[in-house]
Amino acid sequence: MNAPRIGVLALQGDTREHLAALREAGAEASTVRRRGELESVDALVIPGGESTAMSHLLREFELLEPLRARLADGMPAYGSCAGMILMASEILDAGAPGRAALALGAIDMTVRRNAFGRQVDSFEGELEFGGITGPMHAVFIRAPWVERVGPQVEVLARADGHVVAVRQGRTLATAFHPEMTGDRRVHRLFVDIVTGRA
């Protein structure tokens, strides 16, 4: 089977780390900044960064509606941190009106921005991740958490009792940054989701 073509939304955030992780996990990875690039990939990673800035840039680059359409059509997607926020159906503390983070509605969940606190409250820890054997070291930076999940959403991990990783069909989201640790198991899981092996 050919390697899946997975794009990384490269408007703002930690693009390079996700590209490297996806390649190590067996994907053909490329950046996505334009509509044609979005249309050429099999799946998309929405990286960490700043969710309101990413929302603004999605509008500026005229990617918002094409991205919503691809997600509605079932394109596999994985969002980490800010990406998790954008993939939600509802965002709490979305930001100032006109500059608020936009809910793409890819996963039926309510996410609270910066739920674990500000930059100085960032932390690391070990957690159990459903479907992955052994503990996972997780890096949380101004991380969100999930306050509500819909009936089709599978909770994969919790930290301090809060939901921090979910899956709904071919979409995946984590509140933490697996691309920063050298552990490629989450990216391998996503590649398997894209190829239909998971």
Q: What is the pLDDT of residues 45-96, one digit of tens each?
A: 999 999 989 999 999 999 999 999 999 999 999 999 999 999 999 999 877 6
Is 18 labeled as catalytic in the residue annotation?
Answer: no
Catalytic residue, candidates 17, 18, 56, 179: 179
- pTM of this prediction? 0.94
pLDDT tens track for 105-159: 999 999 999 888 776 667 899 999 999 999 999 999 989 999 999 999 999 999 9
The verdict on whether residue 95 carries a ligand-binding annotation is no
Average pLDDT, the chain: 93
pLDDT number for residue 1: 60
The verdict on whether residue 39 carries a ligand-binding annotation is no
Catalytic residue, candidates 17, 18, 56, 177: 177
Catalytic residue, candidates 17, 18, 81, 187: 81
Is 81 labeled as catalytic in the residue annotation?
Answer: yes
pLDDT tens track for 1-56: 689 999 999 998 889 999 999 999 999 999 999 999 999 999 999 999 999 899 99
The verdict on whether residue 113 carries a ligand-binding annotation is yes
The verdict on whether residue 124 carries a ligand-binding annotation is no
DSSP-assigned states of every residue in the chain: -PPPEEEEE-SSS-HHHHHHHHHHTT-EEEEE-SHHHHHT-SEEEE-SS-HHHHHHHHHHTT-HHHHHHHHHTT--EEEETHHHHHHEEEEES--STTSPPPP--SEEEEEETTTT-SGGG-EEEEE--TTS-S-EEEEESS--EEEEE-TTPEEEEEETTEEEEEEETTEEEESS-GGGTS--HHHHHHHHHHHT--
